[in-house]
Amino acid sequence: MMMRYIAVTLTALALLGGCQKKEDPSEAGPAERAGRKVDQATEQAGARLDSAAKQANEQLSDAAKETSQRLDKAADKAGETLNNATREAGRKLEQAGEKMQTSAEERESRK
């Protein structure tokens, strides 16, 4: 019984010795090599996504600035147009008032 126990222990130790992690990549098994390739591909994809996100963010920022500038110009132009229209309306109102006053003076003088 003791011999059997020693034999089982030695067999277990021998099997466990084969399961030690190998530090040399050339000694890695196919699953480990595949896992490393997956890790590398994931890191590369992540770096590409980060780069694409930064580029998209910069493009959006530039587009927002350009849009803001265009809106400012349009608002300035609209303000100018409104000011001109207000001045023109005031001028016409003043002319109408002058005509009314002239007509009233003419009526008074005919009496």
Dig out the tokens for 91 from the structure: 């001028």
Dig out the tokens for 97 from the structure: 């008032």
Dig out the tokens for 86 from the structure: 């207000």
| Percentage, residues of the chain above pLDDT 70 | 76
CA triple 20-24-29, angle to 5 deg: 65
* Per-residue pLDDT tens digits for 54-65: 999 999 999 999
For CA atoms 74, 75, 76, 82, give the dihedral sign: positive
Q: Determine which of 12-26, 48-62, 64-78 has the lowest per-residue pLDDT on average.
A: 12-26
Compute the distance between CA of residue 78 and CA of residue 33 in angstroms, rounded to an integer: 67
pTM, rounded to two decimals: 0.47
Dig out the tokens for 96 from the structure: 């109408």
In the chain, domain spans: 43-111
